[in-house]
Structure 1
Amino acid sequence: MYPMSKPRILIGSPIRQTPVILKLFLESLRWLEGEAYVIDYVFVDDNTDPLSSVMLRQFAASTGRTKLLTHEAAVGSWKAAPGGGHLWLEETVWKVAAMKDRILAMGQECGYTHVFLADSDLLFHPHTLTQLLQAGQDVVSTIYWTRWQVGTTPMPQVWLHGEYETYPLIRQQETSEHDRRLASQRFFAELRVPGLYEVGGLGACTLISRQAIERGVSFREIPNLSYWGEDRHFCVRAAAIGISLFVDTTYPAYHIYREEELVGAAAFIAAKGDTQRLPVESADAYGRGVELLEYGFELLAMEAWQESWDKREGDARQQVQLLLELDAHYGRQGDMMRGRSLLLEGLAELPYAELHCRLGSKCMDNGNWQEAAAWFRAAVGTPRPDDWERSIDVSSWTWKPYIQLCVCTLQLGDPQRAFEYNERGLMFEPDHPTMLANREALLAMLAEQRSTTA
């Protein structure tokens, strides 16, 4: 563990940042100050916006414990990435690596117990440093999550091996894409639970002990390593000299990766980071699945919901919803028969119209009109439970089977029967636009048939 005297922490950052984001970053740094340790700051001013440099000088004057270093600016050191964010050019990567190593050297030379390297587009919870110190590790990062592409699932800045592989390393064994995705989601879900985890790679907001610096951790390029990015070279070197890497997920940082995230950044600042606290994992499989789905971990969520169905958790309506969700998931995975088998299994215990309608719709997709019609007739004939109006799909108990029967019987060559089914559906939804259009089309079709046979 650490000596009884207070830890001395040097917070360092190479900075080329917009004034708007830099203001938030500097504000969150001040939250990190506490009585259990001593903090000083060092910033490498690589800004191209003069106002950002002014802000650093103002910060230094207000703290009295900040050293500003300069670095020769490199014009065009990054370019915009598709979907927002940015892409670093190769020359800039190693320029930043040199800046970080300069900060590490300063930490060692000035007798600091730790260096905390922090990217300037991050915001931190006030308890971040306390939590990282309590971990008692030579290299430990606090986690943050980023949507690297717009509309995708948030991903952590830590990984298990390679450049950014988030599934366990198994050498000389082929694994399927599905198994890799599932393993990655297991890793992400684990990280969503507050705790300390060993990883293979990390970066951006890392507490590094003096012992690790003395043993030779560094961001400089490893010439025979093709991995992109100085953090990867740091992690490979650390592992090679026997230093394990850890991430703490108790107090996630907030990443302002693109301008749209400034709204969330303002909320983070207003709440001093409490917006990022993670929920406790649900005890039941159904709740766990809901939670996993909210994070975008569909494969894991469906595993949990399959477990929920196997245990018959919840009431009938919840079980019906589970079956429909699982069927849709297996359909997206291309396993149509597994979904069908599950629906048939459910119908043996839960005679619900929603399940009949789903089976009918699957038959329609395959052009099996006879069987589809049989399933929709079964839906019409299913006795309504007392709580049918609270169903997840009330239309399955009212007009939906009739409009589908209209389609099926028309495909089977019986427009008169199709018209009758459509009219029965309109009794439930008199203004339904599709059924009203069906009425006009079927009346015209029947009139033409009568004129032909007259």
Structure 2
Amino acid sequence: TRPSDPDRNLRIYQAQLDAGKELEPRQQFYYGRELYYHHRWEDALETFERFLEDGRGWVENSIDACCHCAYCHKELGHDQAALTALFRTFVYDRPRAETCCDIGLWFFQKEEYRQATYWYALALTCARDDRRGGFVSPDCYGYLPCLQLCVCYSRLGEQTRAAAFNELAAAYKPDSPAVLRNREWFRSLASA
């Protein structure tokens, strides 16, 4: 949970830096996250890049730092750099479903649905491992990629395939408002 004073951690790190103290890799990583949470995109990006260049960070933190570099680049309007930062996660370990979903979203937002389907389908093959200690987004390991594959295939004109992925998403979250809306939409197409 976040502390009641949202600036507390940022002030602590800033005071350490102002006092000339060098942050340990893990502290540097969390300092970058604090900068990100405070919408200081350029400062966060610089901190994450230093953390990654140092090369002493834990694998899970390094993967997360790459993702946060991507989010910062996106906020700064650096679309291509955002995608490159996501691909950089593969240097550290096999693809994570979260990263595959982020890459899928990058292509989806560009309306490049075929490329997006590749990354969402790849997300479905990634094994979730809560023991590795990294940040896990459970929806990326089933529900979200299925739902996004439904939308992508629908936009590609493949309604039968799209409906099948909507039902796969329903297996993860049967009462999802998105799944229920999609079902209605596919019913309306069938009756038209």
Which 4+ residue blocks in structure 1 deviate beyond 6 angstroms? none
Q: Which has the larger radius of gyration?
A: 1
Which residue of structure 2 aligns with residue 302 of structure 1? 45
Which residue of structure 2 aligns with residue 371 of structure 1? 115
> Partners in 1 of 2:119 and 2:46 — Cα distance?
28
Alpha carbons of structure 1 residues 389 and 436: separation in structure 2 relative to 1, 3 Å: farther
Which residue of structure 2 aligns with residue 334 of structure 1? 77
SS of corresponding position for 1:387: helix
SS of corresponding position for 2:108: helix
Cα drift, residue 307 of structure 1: 2.2
Which residue of structure 2 aligns with residue 319 of structure 1? 62
Which residue of structure 2 aligns with residue 430 of structure 1? 174
Compute the RMSD of aligned alpha carbons: 2.8
Q: Deviations over 1:219-266 (max 9, x none)?
A: xxxxxxxxxxxxxxxxxxxxxxxxxxxxxxxxxxxxxxxxxxxxxxxx
Q: How does 1:11-410 map to 2 (within 5 A)?
A: 193-194=18-19, 282-284=23-25, 285-293=28-36, 297-310=40-53, 311=55, 313-316=57-60, 318-348=61-91, 349-385=93-129, 387=131, 391-410=135-154
Alpha carbons of structure 1 residues 391 and 422: separation in structure 2 relative to 1, 3 Å: farther
Which residue of structure 1 aligns with residue 4 of structure 2? none
Cα drift, residue 347 of structure 1: 2.5
Kept after mapping to 2: 8 A contact 1:286/1:304 = yes
Q: Deviations over 1:49-68 (max 9, x none)?
A: xxxxxxxxxxxxxxxxxxxx
Kept after mapping to 1: 8 A contact 2:44/2:72 = no
Structure 2: runs of 5+ lacking an equivalent: 1-6, 8-13
Q: Deviations over 1:258-302 (max 9, x none)?
A: xxxxxxxxxxxxxxxxxxxxxx66322313324544666432222
SS of corresponding position for 2:165: helix
> Partners in 2 of 1:382 and 1:426 — Cα distance?
19
Kept after mapping to 2: 8 A contact 1:419/1:442 = yes
> Partners in 2 of 1:390 and 1:287 — Cα distance?
13
Cα drift, residue 436 of structure 1: 1.1
Higher normalized helix content (fraction of residues)? 2
SS of corresponding position for 1:404: helix
Cα drift, residue 433 of structure 1: 0.7
> Partners in 1 of 2:109 and 2:34 — Cα distance?
31
Instruction: Note if 1:441 corresponds to 2:171.
Output: no
Q: TM-score, normalised by structure 2?
A: 0.79
> Partners in 1 of 2:36 and 2:134 — Cα distance?
23
Cα drift, residue 389 of structure 1: 9.5
Cα drift, residue 356 of structure 1: 0.7
Alpha carbons of structure 1 residues 433 and 389: separation in structure 2 relative to 1, 3 Å: farther
Kept after mapping to 2: 8 A contact 1:357/1:376 = yes
1:320 partner amino acid? I
SS of corresponding position for 1:325: helix
Cα drift, residue 325 of structure 1: 1.4
Higher normalized strand content (fraction of residues)? 1
Q: TM-score, normalised by structure 1?
A: 0.35
> Partners in 1 of 2:39 and 2:101 — Cα distance?
27
Instruction: Note if 1:417 corresponds to 2:161.
Output: yes
Kept after mapping to 1: 8 A contact 2:101/2:140 = yes
> Partners in 2 of 1:344 and 1:295 — Cα distance?
25
% same residue: 22
